[in-house]
Structure 1
Amino acid sequence: MAKVVAFNKPFGVICQFSGEGDTLANYINIPNIYPVGRLDKDSEGLVILTNDGKLQNKISNPKSNKTKTYLVQLDGDITKEAINDLKAGVVLKDGLTKPAFVKKIHQPEWLWDRTPPVRKRILIPTSWIEISITEGRNRQVRRMTANVGFPTLRLIRIQIDKWKLASIKVGSYVSL
Structure 2
Amino acid sequence: MKRLNKYISDTGFCSRREADKLIESLRVTVNGRAPELGTKIGDDDVVCVDGKEVKAVPENKSDRVYLAYNKPVGITCTTERKIKGNIVDAVKYKQRIFPIGRLDKPSEGLILLTNDGDIVNKILRAENAHEKQYRVNVDKPITPMFLNKMSSGVPILDTITLPCDIKQVGKTSFDIVLTQGLNRQIRRMCEYLGYNVTRLIRKRIMHIKLDGLKAGQYRQLSDDELNQLNNDVVHSSKTARDS
Instruction: Name the aligned partner's letter for residue 85 of structure 2.
Output: D
Q: CA contact under 8 A between 1:70 and 1:158: conserved in structure 2? A: yes
TM-score (normalised: structure 1): 0.85
Q: Per-residue displacement from partner, 1:23-76 (whole Å, max 9, x unpaired)? A: 221223232211000001010000101111121121112221111110001010
Q: 2:82 corresponds to which residue?
A: 19
Task: Pick one of 96, 104, 123 that aligns with 1:32.
Answer: 96
Say whether the 8 Å CA contact 2:66–2:220 is kept in structure 1: yes
Higher RCO (C-alpha 8 Å, min separation 6): 1
Instruction: Spell out structure 1 runs of 4+ moving beyond 2 A.
Output: none
Choose between structure 1 and 2: higher helix proportion: 2
TM-score between both structures, scaled by the size of structure 2: 0.62
For residues 113 and 90 of structure 2, the distance between their equivalents in structure 1, rounded to whole angstroms, comes to: 15
Gaps of 5+ in 2: 1-61, 222-243
Q: Which runs of 5+ in 1 are unaligned?
A: 107-125
CA distance in 1, matches of 2:129, 2:166: 17
Moved more, 22-31 or 56-65: 22-31
Question: Separation in 1 of the partners of 2:217 and 2:109?
Answer: 10
Q: 2:156 aligned to 89, 92, 95, which one?
A: 92
| Cα-to-partner distance string for 1:124-157 (whole Å, 9 max, x where unaligned) | xx71010111000000010011112221111100
How many residue pairs match? The answer is: 157
- Between the aligned residues of both structures, percent identity stands at 38
Q: CA deviation at 1:92?
A: 1.0
CA separation in 2, counterparts of 1:91 and 1:55? 30
Q: CA RMSD in A?
A: 1.3
The DSSP-based 3-state class of the residue aligned with 1:16 is: coil
Alpha-carbon distance in 2 for matches of 1:38, 1:82: 26
1:165 matched to 2:210? The reply is yes
Of residues 134-143 and 14-23 in structure 1, the stretch that sits farther from structure 2 once superposed is 14-23
Say whether the 8 Å CA contact 1:82–1:149 is kept in structure 2: no
Greater C-alpha radius of gyration: 2
Matched, 1:42 2:87: no
- Give the distance between the partners of 2:126 and 2:99, measured in 1 at CA: 16
Return the alpha-carbon distance in structure 2 between the equivalents of residues 166 and 84 of structure 1. 30
